[in-house]
Amino acid sequence: MIPELKGKVLKTQKTRAYAARMADLEATLGTPTAAETARVALFFGVTIGRDFDVLDKMGMVLNETLMGGHEITWTRPFEPDEEVEVTVTLADVQDRGKNRIAVIESLFQAPGGEEIQRQYSTFVHLGGAGRGGEA
């Protein structure tokens, strides 16, 4: 069932690049450039809904899953409190041996369609090969 999910939109969500969260991230990092970094690294697309339901939809069990990699490209930093529309898609999924590798794309756009940022997050589900997920 999982291969049929490849290319499927797993989630769409409207949110904001909350200035308060930028300030929280800046405080957590605590470096001289943290404010700038927070404007490009504010979101983790996979948890955009503040949960891991994207992984659940693919039949990936959180405590059996490792993060293998992450990529962010941006056209510009987020503006504080600007509206953002997020589209989370299963870009690729493969079984390698006993494990399942999934690449999740998260596209961040302004309400008018302008692309602001794109993320690719790679997850390894240990022992997850051959398991099902929601169609």
Partner 1 sequence: MKSFTIKAPAMGTEQFVRYGATVGDFNPVHYDLNFAKELKLPAVISQGPLTFTLALDAAIAENGLDSIAGFKARITAPVFPDTALTITGDADGNVTAASGETTCLEGELSPR
| Residue 3 or 83 having the CB closest to partner 1 | 83
91 binds partner 1 per the rule CB under 8 A: no
25 binds partner 1 (CB under 8 A): yes
Between 72 and 91, name the residue whose CB sits nearer to partner 1.
Answer: 72
Nearest to 119 by CA among 72, 59, 86, 58: 72
Pairing of strands 115-125, 65-74: antiparallel
Count, residues near partner 1 per rule CB under 8 A: 39
If binding is defined by CB under 8 A, does position 80 make contact with partner 1?
no
For residues 87 and 109, the answer to whether their CB atoms sit within 8 Å is yes
In whole angstroms, the minimum distance from the beta carbon of 117 to partner 1 comes to 9
How many other CB atoms are there within 10 angstroms of residue 117's CB atom? 23
107 lines the binding site for partner 1 (CB under 8 A): no
Q: Which of residues 54-73 bind partner 1 (CB under 8 A)?
A: 62-63, 66-73
**SS3 at position 33:** coil
Asked whether the beta carbons of 11 and 78 are under 8 A apart, the reply is: no
Q: Which two tokens stand for residue 29?
A: 């990092």
User: Which residues of this chain interact with partner 1, rule CB under 8 A?
Assistant: 21, 24-25, 27-34, 36-37, 39-44, 47-52, 62-63, 66-75, 77, 120
